Structure 1
Amino acid sequence: MEDVANDRLGAAQNLPSTDRGRAASSLARGLSVADALGLPVLHGTKVLAGEQGLDRVIQRLNVMEVPDILPWVKPHELLLTTGYPLRSTPQDLTRLVCDLAERDLAAVAIKLGRYVAELPDAMLRAADERGLPILLLGDHVAFDDVLNHLLTDILNRQAAILGRAEEVHRVLVDAILAGGGLAAITERLPALLDGGVMVTTPDGRVLASSGVPESDLADPAYFDPVSGRFLVEGFKHGLHALDDDQPRVAQVPVMAGSLDHGRIVLITRSRRLDPADLHLLERAAATAALVITRDLAVAAVEGKYQGDFLRDVLDGRAGDTGHIVAHCASLGWDVDRPLVVVVAELGPEPPGPVHAAGDLRPAHERFMGAWTMVVRERDPKAAIAGYSQEVVVIMGLDRAPARPQGPADPGRRRGGTGAGRDGDCAPGRLVRAMVAQVSGDGGGGRRSFATGFSRVVTSPEAIPAAYEQARQAARVGRQMHGTGAVAGFDDLGVFRLISLVPDGAELRSFMAETLGPLALGDDTETADLRHTLEVLLDNNLNVAETARLLHFHYNTLRYRIGKLERMLGPFTADPDLRLNLMMALRVIRMRGLS
């Protein structure tokens, strides 16, 4: 036995998480047994058994006056008794404990001495096994005092929760009626919820935030260090968050009908979460859903108009320069400056089960939303529009990048995307940083995409040509490196010319005639010889350097060169043949023909 009147036991922390969650789900409407033991009216009360059930919730009280009390027992009751109904059959107490535990009774509080001298050991063991607290009341404790004090405390708690919920509701309604958006919601909630509040997309990209400590923003346990998104997949939803030992983070889905629009997240400052927090967060989520639905409806109308006009600009049908500049300015876009056009094309949808309604918004909507967030952070006056399978961005640069001087680097010499001239210039760095953010999701399930960007242009008239450059860079980048490729138009080199040949059969014919037996063989020896040839040509026939890169002995490479010349001709002495061979190898790399 243990005196817990002045020591509110933490034994509830040792319960299985499912039991903690079940008890916590009702705590908002009552108080735990451990909390009740801390009240003055129960001072001196001892726990005889069932200590592991002290987190059971008391929502009502009852007094046992008849032996057949079971029909009158309700879940979450504190049952007070002197044992009088069972004074002649104390052995029945063991069976009674088992029946009461099955009915989710909160606890049994008993006064011994007058009718029952002591409790059977079997009863106490049964209570321990089932986690049903058996409380020994002091002789000075009157049942009416217990009833009055505990009911008053329960009602006061419920009133406080209702008052807090009403205040949250009033704040949220005021924010909506004032025309506020998600920022207005998040700005007003931290003081009421005692923590930082965020609204995010379904995969955790922060749409609005307030009160989140800087230490949490920089914590990789909460936020992805690359994309900056909140790690929604790392935290439980709703009341399941209370299953954790020290819960500080709760998230609730923002649903509108069957559509999942995101999450509303609470990060408490130093305290544990409680069920009331989740209840208030659900109200906030409903309000956020209204705001998001409203904003989406407005954005759909505006986006359609903006997308139509931008399509005219990209097609060269928007009018003269003055009209384009003025009309773009009315839409919040600035195109009268050095610009780069970026095209991000969605890849094919991966195979798998069809998502149920509400699991995901259409891929292109979420794709457009992610790009809009990332672009607006860097250039609020950029033009951006989403179409069925691509997002087009026209954004500014401080200045056109200078062309690097000196000998060509290996990426340029080899014609590879992502390592050439634009790979290290201002547009290349900018686009790659944005792609890293857009693609840095672990919980959203976005489809892969390829990205291309144009040369820098300095007038609106050049935008259509820049758009075609960006589209070609995205398409060729995907052919070269698959989904997820990022390529600038100036990176493409000879691949740009190859991509303009529409006849695949002609390219295959050229490749077969030039490479002969090395063209399509997929055996190990053929692939090895083809790789040797490519590295040798990329290094300008430098035998020593090629041998080093391939980890061959010098004489071994000389032997291979002789074998290649017998198969392909004297390419070491014939520059035209070398050019043909290099082009044929580029066709293989680009078209995936091997």
Structure 2
Amino acid sequence: MQDTLTHRQLKSLIQVSNVINSKLDIDTIFDSIMNETISVVEAAGGGSIWIFDKNQNRLIAKSAQGLFYPHIFRQIELVSGESMTGISFAAKKCLIFWDEVEIKQALSTLTPYNRDLLDRAIPSNFHFTSVISSPILQKGKCIGVITLDSFEQSLQFKQEDINLLEAIGHQAAIALEKSSLYYEKEKTVRMLSHSIEIHRNLANLVVNGEGIQSIMNFIHKTIGQHMFLFNEIGELKASACHSSFSVEMTEYITQYTKQIILTLENSHTVSDITLNDETYQIVVLSLGSKLKSLGGLIILSKQKMSEVDIAALEHACTIISLELVKEQAVFETQQRLRGEFVTKLFSGQMDEALIQKAKNLNFDPNRTYVAMIINFEDKLNEQKVLGEHVLRNLLHMSNKTLLGRNSQVMAVRVENQIVALLSFHSRVPSSNIVAEIKELGKNLQQEIINKYREIDVSIGIGRIKQGLTFVHESFVEANKCIKFLKNYLFDHRVLSYTDLGVQRFILQNSKEELNDFIQEVLGPLIQYEQSRKGELLSTLIVYLDQNQNIKKTADSLHIHTNTLSYRLKRIEEILATDLNDSQPLFNIHLAINIYQCIKAKDTLQKNKS
């Protein structure tokens, strides 16, 4: 090589080597190489260095020096085989284009867009007279091209110029490899430093007891992207978004993420989604471990997130997971202690120790109390049993709804039920308390149904009791409401014990006793109906519903009053009674109510089977 290079070119090659060894910024190195090469190659009026971008599948100009407009020239992006540079790249060897004819033929491969850029980059009074393009090879693979351009007819490239360009191409390959190693190390250090800084700040938040939402707000402020935290069943636990992110978009992300969370296997996944005609990158990072998932952290970004940010977020997930485990442990301990208290309280075993425990839990023994039972059944599951995660989430929902209106509430899980103790000041009117609790129950029921359509929710509410000493009676009454809702058709699935009238009589007696009573009072009429298929029993029911008003009953049945009078007379004959006598009429009214409830229960059980 030394025999074919001039003394000046050898000095230039040494200078290029010194630049590579003294600098790490690849753009600076390329500019220095290009300037040095043009200065020692007499025929070169300009030149460029092109590097192949794998992602774009294009040759990108990294340096452009000489008698043209580099800011325009560097917008050109070449495919393999396009122009002199692309032809050399495809051939993986140094090529020289000796005259304008060869150059014109090579330039004909340019796309119209690239040709327009080239024409605007080269002044109109300049023309290529000859061109050298030499590949940059790394381990036998072409990774770029160095191109020198001549604009003078009197100046021609020489063999030593080709040799120099090949040697510089080798030096450029070394520079790229060295720069790549440097930037990889720098990126690793930067990534580690960034992660450590985030980790340190998050750890401080945890130590100071800031909680999950503060952690989410910090990360959101740090990376500037929309963030969502979902639990292990895909329920949204916390979020931190810009104000532009709408409720509808949040609901869409919740539905989208629910499917991913349940099947997430890797530490993180990256994909693209479209929201409101805008494309976002969505990064899903798992929380917890494969053996025990705690959910996922979701980041929604309009820009592609760097590996540094994702690595930092993975470190952040460790802190979030620890905080979730801590919250869960605290919550379970509270639930165990409260569960023991409620179980003993509702058993009626009141003593001084229990009263003291109530005071420790901020429950005044002299306030007014009401018991509420929320019962759940999975309509899609034959065993009607709900999963542990779902029950835990239902408990969170119940606590949130009930605490929203009352500062003194305790809700605990008991198998497939949530048992709640609500406290009110003794000066609050009973009618207000009943109305408020029923409204709370309906709101909670609707919220649960909206989120879990497969769950059947029944809510039983006991009567108001003065002081903790008698609160177990309210619990028994709430339980009777749940029992009634399970066995009988009722218009609403939120039932207060005060709503029950004759139904209390039903709950306190066996089905055999109830049927005996019905037969004693209505037996002859029921038998008559079964044998004749008449309308007397239904007429009696409507007559009693209309408070024995002849005209209203006739209108309701769409019959003449004479027809109604005949039917009523026939009923009295069959039952051997007088419908104007208050005592037998009371028994008939009671029997009718019980008969309808039992009939509705039989229909309900038949439908379930």
TM-score in terms of structure 1 length: 0.61
Is the CA contact 1:256–1:293 (under 8 Å) kept in the aligned structure 2?
no
SS class of match (1:463):
helix
Once the two structures are superposed, the pairs formed by residues 342-421 of structure 1 within 5 Å of their partners are 342-347=372-377, 350-351=380-381, 360-361=387-388, 363-398=390-425, 402=429
- State the distance in 2 between where 1:281 and 1:231 align: 19
Shift of 1:185: 1.8
C-alpha spacing 1:189/1:176, structure 2 compared with 1 (3 Å): same
Q: Indicate which of 332, 337, 343 corresponds to 1:311.
A: 343
Whole-angstrom CA distance in 1 between matches of 2:311 and 2:538: 63
Q: For CA contacts below 8 A with separation 6 or more, give which structure has more relative contact order.
A: 1
- Matches of 1:581 and 1:335, distance apart in 2: 44
Q: Give me the whole-angstrom Cα distance separating, in 2, the residues matched to 1:143 and 1:191.
A: 43
Q: Which moved more, 1:178-187 or 1:310-319?
A: 178-187
Partner of 2:464: helix, strand, or coil?
coil
Could you tell me how far 1:308 is from its partner in structure 2?
Answer: 1.2
| Whole-angstrom distance in 1 between the partners of 2:529 and 2:318 | 58
Change (3 A) 1:555 1:332: same
Q: CA deviation at 1:573?
A: 3.1
Contact 2:236 2:254 in 1 (8 A): no
Per-residue displacement from partner, 1:209-228 (whole Å, max 9, x unpaired)?
A: 44563x757x35535xxxxx
Equivalent position to 2:488, from 465, 468, 480: 480
Distance in 1 of aligned mates of 2:402 and 2:57: 53
Mapping 1:157-556, distance limit 5 Å: 165=195, 167-201=197-231, 207-211=237-241, 213=243, 219-220=247-248, 222=250, 232-233=254-255, 237=260, 239-240=270-271, 242=273, 245-247=277-279, 254-266=287-299, 271=302, 274=305, 284-320=316-352, 323-347=353-377, 350-351=380-381, 360-361=387-388, 363-398=390-425, 402=429, 425-442=435-452, 447-481=455-489, 485-501=493-509, 503-516=510-523, 533-546=540-553
Instruction: Show CA shifts across 1:135-163 (max 9, x none).
Output: 99969897369998998799698887776
Match 1:33 to one of 56, 62, 70: 56
- Aligned partners of 2:286 and 2:561: how far apart in 1? 64
Counterpart in 1 of 2:594?
587
CA distance in structure 2 between the partners assigned to 1:38 and 1:469 by the alignment: 82
Task: From the superposition, tell whether residues 456 and 216 of structure 1 become closer, same or farther in structure 2 (CA, over 3 Å).
Answer: farther
CA distance in 1, matches of 2:217, 2:254: 21
Distance in 2 between residues matched to 1:165 and 1:144, nearest whole Å: 39
CA distance in 1, matches of 2:584, 2:366: 48
Give the equivalent residue in structure 1 for 2:91. Answer: 85
Determine if contact 1:449/1:483 at 8 Å carries over to the other structure.
no
1:569 is displaced (CA, Å) by: 5.9
- Given that 2:529 and 2:536 are in contact with CA atoms closer than 8 Å, whether structure 1 keeps it comes out as no
Query: Structure 1 pair 82/551, CA: closer, same or farther in 2 (3 Å)?
Result: farther
SS at match of 2:351: coil
When normalised by structure 2's length, the TM-score is: 0.60
Looking at structure 2, the residues matched to 233 and 489 of structure 1 have their Cα atoms a distance apart, in angstroms, of 38
The offset of 1:191, in angstroms, is: 0.2
Distance change >3 Å, CA 136–CA 495, structure 1 → 2: farther
Is the contact between residue 479 and residue 590 of structure 1 (CA under 8 Å) also seen in structure 2?
no
Contact 1:249–1:265 (Cα < 8 Å) also in 2: no
Shift of 1:427: 2.2
Work out the percentage of aligned pairs sharing the same amino acid.
16
Q: 1:329 to 1:254 in 2, by over 3 A?
A: farther
* Equivalent pair of 2:445/2:457 in contact (CA under 8 Å): no
Residues 354/385 of structure 1: CA separation in 2 closer, same or farther (3 Å cut): closer
Paired with 2:117 and 2:548, the residues of 1 have a C-alpha distance of 96
Q: Which has the higher helix share?
A: 2
Partners in 2 of 1:517 and 1:348 — Cα distance? 42
* Structure 1 counterpart of 2:145: 143
Shift of 1:325: 4.3
3-state SS in 2 of match to 1:493: coil
**Structure 1 pair 538–391 and aligned structure 2 pair: CA distance change class (3 A):** same
Secondary structure of residue in 1 paired with 2:374: strand
Q: 1:212 to 1:284 in 2, by over 3 A?
A: farther
Against the structure 1 CA distance between its residues 191 and 582, is the aligned structure 2 distance closer, same or farther, given a 3 Å change threshold?
Answer: same
Contact 2:227 2:241 (C-alpha < 8 Å) held by counterparts: yes
CA 1:86–1:373: 2 relative to 1, 3 Å: same
Q: Map of 1:54-133 to 2, 5 A cutoff? A: 82=88, 84-85=90-91
In structure 2, distance between residues paired with 1:517 and 1:34: 94
AA in 1 matched with 2:254: V
Q: Deviation per CA, 1:78-102, whole angstroms, max 9, x where unpaired?
A: x976354399xxxxxxxxxxxxxxx
**Equivalent residues of 1:511, 1:519 under 8 A apart:** no
Distance 2:329 2:89 in 1: 66
Q: Does 1:43 align with 2:71?
A: no
Structure 1 unpaired stretches of 5+: 1-29, 49-62, 65-78, 88-111, 122-133, 224-229, 405-420
Q: Distance between the aligned counterparts of 1:144 and 1:530, measured in 2? A: 104
1:556, distance to aligned residue in structure 2 (A): 7.0
Q: After superposition, what is the alpha-carbon deviation per residue over 1:366-413, rounded to whole angstroms, capped at 9, x for unaligned?
A: 433332333333334322322223222112235566466xxxxxxxxx
Write out per-residue CA displacement over residues 179-211 of structure 1, whole angstroms, 9 at most, x where no aligned residue.
553233223122023245443445666544445
The alpha-carbon distance between structure 1 residues 400 and 138, as it changes in their structure 2 partners (threshold 3 A), is: farther
Question: SS of 1:317's equivalent?
Answer: coil
CA distances 1:95-116 after superposition (whole Å, capped 9, x unpaired): xxxxxxxxxxxxxxxxx96996
Preserved CA contact (<8 Å) 1:239 1:275: no
1:198–1:45 distance in 2 versus 1, CA, 3 Å: same
Q: Larger C-alpha radius of gyration, 1 or 2? A: 2
Amino acid at match of 1:593: D
Task: Check conservation: 2:60, 2:78, Cα contact below 8 A.
Answer: no
Aligned-pair CA distance for 1:455:
1.9
Residue identity in the other structure for 1:329: K
CA displacement at 1:490 relative to structure 2 = 0.5
Aligned letter for 2:75?
Answer: G
Asked if the contact 1:84/1:116 (under 8 Å) is kept, the reply is: no
User: 1:82 is paired with a residue of what secondary structure?
Assistant: helix
Partner amino acid for 1:232? T
Structure 1: distance between partners of 2:115 and 2:340: 74
RMSD over equivalenced CA pairs, Å:
5.3
Using the TM superposition, give the Cα deviation of residue 467 of structure 1 relative to its aligned residue in structure 2, in angstroms. Answer: 1.4
C-alpha distance in 2 between matches for 1:448 and 1:389: 11
CA distance in 2, matches of 1:240, 1:354: 37
Could you tell me which amino acid in structure 1 is paired with residue 372 of structure 2? V
Q: Greater CA deviation, 301-310 or 474-483?
A: 474-483
Contact 1:478 1:485 (8 Å CA) reproduced: no
Amino acid at match of 2:506: I
* Offset of residue 470 of structure 1: 1.6
- Displacement of 1:495 in angstroms is 0.7
| Cα 1:83–1:113 shift into 2, 3 Å | farther
Q: Which moved more, 1:379-388 or 1:489-498?
A: 379-388
Look up the equivalent residue of 1:393 and give its one-letter code.
Answer: A
In 2: Cα distance, 1:383 partner to 1:526 partner: 54
2: CA distance, partners of 1:569 / 1:275: 91
Question: Alignment length, in residue pairs?
Answer: 468
Aligned residue number for residue 99 of structure 1: none
Answer 1 or 2: which has greater strand percent. Answer: 2
Q: Is the 8 A contact 1:202 1:260 kept in 2?
A: yes
Measure the CA separation in 1 of the matches of 2:454 and 2:332.
Answer: 21
Q: CA deviation at 1:487?
A: 0.8
